[in-house]
């Protein structure tokens, strides 16, 4: 096996590992998952580095990500060329384009460094935007909120159609296949996400950029690639050319990264993905990789541009905080954070919007925020109880959070964690406003002594007949804001009972009681 095929096999392995762990990010009924589903994020040095800066705290898996930096310092950006699942998907999308290169000027490769500087500068001043463009965070978020729901919807549509048609023999066979898919690659229930369409388009655009130039994202935009590029600067694994080279141009045409531009002889460590195309393709066997003295050439980023990027990163911090969200005493009533979330300021310093919590949420209630937390908090998790409630005994979101924005709670802690408060809309409530019996909110209320209790009242119905009703009331001390009452309220559309963030345990300000 030549080294190019070895590389492809390794890429395939890591992509499959990524997909496997992704599929395991779903409960089978236990309150644990059984696999380290956030493994790729744990190894992501951009996430751990920017979190370190923004929150001044070491995230759980910081040391794993340091391993990647050490690997990069010795072997260069092998992570990009051999491991990164988004890189591999870019490779696959690139198969649709014939020529390796487009017409983008090589100077554009610097964009990713400016982006990195911008992000780290923001992080330094507590603004965590990295997750929006970090490749692993971006990939998991896109898959969780859009690509996987899309896949599920498409597969289900095919099998539902065959089921509806009831073709003899065919439907039996399709149902058999369907049952196997349900047990393996399909989700337990069809996931639905707010902004799913938009997030999917964003992801498809990244893939489509491969049609402009293969691996355009990796070469010009990826901030993790830039970080690893910096650390690979003095990597001793370097490319050398022997006498046999006749400048045929084959290798620079096949270069996956931006390491060879224009000529076969110039080579830049920090841009090389170590895909080994040049080594394998050289008709004269003139290319070889081996350990030696680190190459000394470095890309000139331009002092002014570096300073501009840094300043932009700093300016972004107060700019994004000009909304009402930083104002004392203000809290968005719909900003219902998952249980275990840190106080909002600290939460935003850590959340990288990877979507793990939304993927794992058993009720599909955790959704990406749009404006509830300001632009800074876009795509961070909020509970939308009309979509799904917070399951009383479940603590999975805290288990999969890579940065500790959502703390890992024990089930007992979780059951006492208040994420909001139920409010009854008497105008819509059947027993309050329509003299009609209904007790669903009380029935489903999960606290051991129910937070929703029923008061027996005598009222008259429209015919003047006296009826005895039980009207729901909310106990301020006992309600934890899980939202099951809102989810299950039979008054569809606008519910007769809903959750607001008021009274959440994590906030000292957003309080109601003494």
Tokens 């650390």, residue located: 231
CA separation for the pair 472, 455 (Å, rounded): 6
Q: How far is the CB of 162 from other proteins (least distance, A)?
A: 12
Of 206 and 394, the one with the shorter C-beta distance to other proteins is 394
Of 161 and 266, the one with the shorter C-beta distance to other proteins is 161
For 459, the 3-state DSSP assignment is strand
CA separation for the pair 10, 129 (Å, rounded): 31
Q: How far is the CB of 84 from other proteins (least distance, A)?
A: 32
CA separation for the pair 15, 396 (Å, rounded): 24
Contacts of 70 (CB under 8 A, 6+ apart): none
Of 177 and 301, the one with the shorter C-beta distance to other proteins is 177
Residues forming contacts to other proteins in the complex (CB under 8 A) are: 27-31, 160, 163, 188, 362-363, 391-394, 430, 436-440, 442-444, 446-450, 454, 470, 488-490, 492
Tokens 């209630």, residue located: 365
Of 106 and 446, the one with the shorter C-beta distance to other proteins is 446
Q: How far is the CB of 356 from other proteins (least distance, A)?
A: 18
CA separation for the pair 120, 114 (Å, rounded): 10
Number of helices (H) and strands (E) in the chain: give both, helices first.
Answer: 24, 8
Of 98 and 456, the one with the shorter C-beta distance to other proteins is 456
Of 171 and 308, the one with the shorter C-beta distance to other proteins is 171
Q: How far is the CB of 504 from other proteins (least distance, A)?
A: 21
Q: Choose among 482, 480, 469, 403: nearest CA to 430.
A: 469
Instruction: Give yes or no for a contact between 402 and 354, defined as CB atoms under 8 angstroms apart.
Output: yes
CA separation for the pair 223, 250 (Å, rounded): 28
Q: How far is the CB of 495 from other proteins (least distance, A)?
A: 11
Of 64 and 454, the one with the shorter C-beta distance to other proteins is 454
Q: How far is the CB of 168 from other proteins (least distance, A)?
A: 18
DSSP code, position 361 = -
Tokens of 324: 């009402």
Count the neighbouring beta carbons within 10 Å of the beta carbon of residue 253.
Answer: 15
Q: How far is the CB of 388 from other proteins (least distance, A)?
A: 9
CA separation for the pair 424, 405 (Å, rounded): 30
Calculate the alpha carbon distances from 368 to 6, 55, 347, 353 in Å. 39, 21, 14, 8
Of 123 and 471, the one with the shorter C-beta distance to other proteins is 471
CA separation for the pair 415, 429 (Å, rounded): 27
Q: How far is the CB of 405 from other proteins (least distance, A)?
A: 23
Q: How far is the CB of 393 from other proteins (least distance, A)?
A: 5
Of 218 and 489, the one with the shorter C-beta distance to other proteins is 489
For 239, the 3-state DSSP assignment is strand
């Amino acid at each position: 096996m030549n080294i190019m095929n070895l590389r492809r096999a390794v890429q395939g392995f890591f992509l499959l590992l990524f997909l496997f762990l992704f599929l395991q990010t779903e409960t089978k009924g236990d309150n644990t998952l059984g696999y380290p589903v956030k493994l790729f994020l744990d190894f992501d040095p951009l996430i751990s580095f920017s979190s370190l800066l923004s929150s001044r705290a070491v995230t759980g898996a910081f040391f794993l990500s340091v391993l990647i930096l050490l690997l990069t310092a010795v072997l260069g950006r092998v992570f990009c060329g051999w491991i990164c699942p988004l890189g591999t998907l870019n490779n696959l999308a690139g198969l649709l384009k014939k020529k390796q290169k487009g017409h983008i000027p090589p100077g554009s490769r610097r964009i990713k460094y400016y982006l990195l500087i911008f992000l780290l500068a923001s992080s330094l001043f507590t603004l965590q935007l990295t997750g929006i463009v970090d490749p692993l965070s971006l990939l998991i978020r896109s898959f969780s909120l859009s690509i996987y729901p899309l896949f599920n919807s498409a597969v289900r549509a095919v099998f539902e159609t065959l089921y509806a048609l009831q073709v003899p023999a065919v439907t039996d066979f399709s149902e058999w296949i369907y049952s196997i898919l349900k047990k393996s690659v399909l989700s337990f229930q069809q996931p639905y996400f707010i902004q799913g369409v938009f997030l999917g388009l964003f992801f498809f655009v990244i893939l489509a950029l491969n049609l402009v130039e293969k691996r355009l994202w990796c070469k010009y935009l990826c901030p993790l690639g830039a970080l690893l590029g910096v650390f690979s600067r003095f990597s001793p694994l370097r490319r050398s050319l022997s006498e046999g080279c006749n400048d045929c141009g084959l290798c620079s045409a096949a270069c996956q990264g931006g390491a060879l531009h224009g000529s076969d002889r110039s080579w830049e460590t920090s841009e090389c993905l170590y895909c080994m195309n040049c080594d394998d393709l050289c008709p004269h066997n003139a290319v070889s990789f081996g350990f030696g003295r680190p190459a000394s050439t470095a890309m000139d980023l331009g002092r002014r541009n570096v300073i501009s990027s840094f300043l932009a990163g700093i300016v972004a911090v107060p700019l994004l905080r000009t909304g009402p969200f930083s104002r004392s005493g203000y809290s968005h009533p719909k900003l219902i954070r998952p249980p275990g979330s840190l106080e909002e300021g600290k939460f935003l310093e850590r959340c990288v919007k990877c979507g793990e919590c939304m993927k794992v949420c058993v009720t599909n209630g955790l959704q990406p925020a749009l404006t509830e937390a300001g632009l800074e908090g876009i795509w961070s998790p909020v509970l939308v109880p009309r979509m799904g409630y917070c399951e009383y005994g479940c603590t999975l979101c805290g288990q999969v959070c890579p940065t500790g924005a959502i703390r890992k709670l024990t089930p007992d802690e979780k059951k006492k964690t208040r994420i909001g408060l139920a409010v009854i809309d008497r105008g819509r409530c059947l027993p309050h406003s329509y003299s009609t019996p209904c007790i669903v909110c009380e029935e489903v209320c999960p606290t051991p002594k129910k937070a929703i209790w029923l008061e027996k009242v005598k009222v008259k119905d429209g015919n003047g007949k006296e009826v005895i009703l039980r009207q729901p009331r909310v106990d301020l001390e006992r309600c934890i804001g899980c939202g099951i009452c809102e989810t299950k309220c039979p008054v569809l559309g606008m519910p007769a009972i809903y959750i607001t963030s008021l009274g959440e345990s994590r906030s000292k300000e957003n309080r109601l009681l003494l």
